[in-house]
Amino acid sequence: MAPDISLSAAKAFTVFKAICRLGEPCSIAQIAEIVGYPRTVITRMVATLEHHDFITRNPQSGLYAVSPMLLHFVQRGLIRNPVLSRVDLIMNDIVRVTGDTALYMIRSDETALVISRVEGSAPVRVLASEVGMELPLHCGGAPLVLLAHAPEEEIARYLSGTLVRRTAATVTDPQAIRARLEEVRRDGYSVGNGDLFDFVVGVGAPVFDAGGKLAGAVSVGNITQRYTPERAREVGRILLETIAKY
């Protein structure tokens, strides 16, 4: 752990993330089961989070949940976020040009987290990836991009773990995945053809911040009938050109 990090604050945020992951009102016992801290520590962290309006306690059930006030804080804080403002421009432009739904994902540990979604105008609407979903990194359009641009030691650690087969087209052989990652870095974009969701094609490309650090990945896609190999290459080009504009 970095020397400037507060251990108490780190524990509080670990508890807060556990509450978020549970996704429903929960007890101190449930939180303890996830984070492994003593109940006395969790009780203190929960009291701190409640005091600062991160969470709220139901007086009848005694269960804790994320406070609605937190949403207000987050929305205020993200209004002028430079990365998200740029991503919004990118996604809306891509949707306008392609007519298909666009997604923005970031890496969260060993998953791709769907942060935002802009609906397309195409007659077929794919309801596969929704905001808040956590997806594996070794398949799909945007997730594979996130893995391709991860540090080598993190790629090695991920590929040494259990690689879930989402569909019959999911690649789970580590060497084959490494070959795909090389293609993504070479071409600048990835194409997931039915490997994350059956009959769905996703084309993803990276978004870097002003300092050149990976900020996430944008993908666009639809059903396989709409995305021939030629169409996927065309959309890959559109993605790269659009991201470069902003």
What is the tens place of the pLDDT at every residue in 111-168?
Answer: 999 999 999 887 666 777 888 899 999 999 999 999 999 999 999 999 999 999 999 9
- Model pLDDT for residues 186-217, shown as the tens digit of each residue: 999 999 999 999 999 999 999 999 899 999 99
Q: Is the pTM of this model over 0.85?
A: no
On the question of pLDDT at 16 being above 80, the answer is yes
Q: 116-125 long-range CB contacts below 8 Å, 24 or more apart?
A: 116/84, 116/87, 116/88, 116/91, 118/88, 118/91, 118/92, 119/95, 120/95, 120/220, 120/222, 121/95, 122/222, 122/226, 124/222, 124/223, 124/226, 125/101
**Domain for residue 232, yes or no?**
yes
86 and 135 both lie in a single domain: yes
- What is the spatial distance between Cα 21 and Cα 216, in angstroms, rounded to a whole number? 20
CA distances from 145 to 53, 113, 218 (A): 36, 13, 9
Same domain, 99 and 220: yes
Q: Which residue type occupies 1?
A: M
Same domain, 118 and 11: no
| Contact (Cβ atoms closer than 8 angstroms) between residue 114 and residue 133 | yes
Full residue range of the structural domain in which residue 193 is found: 80-245
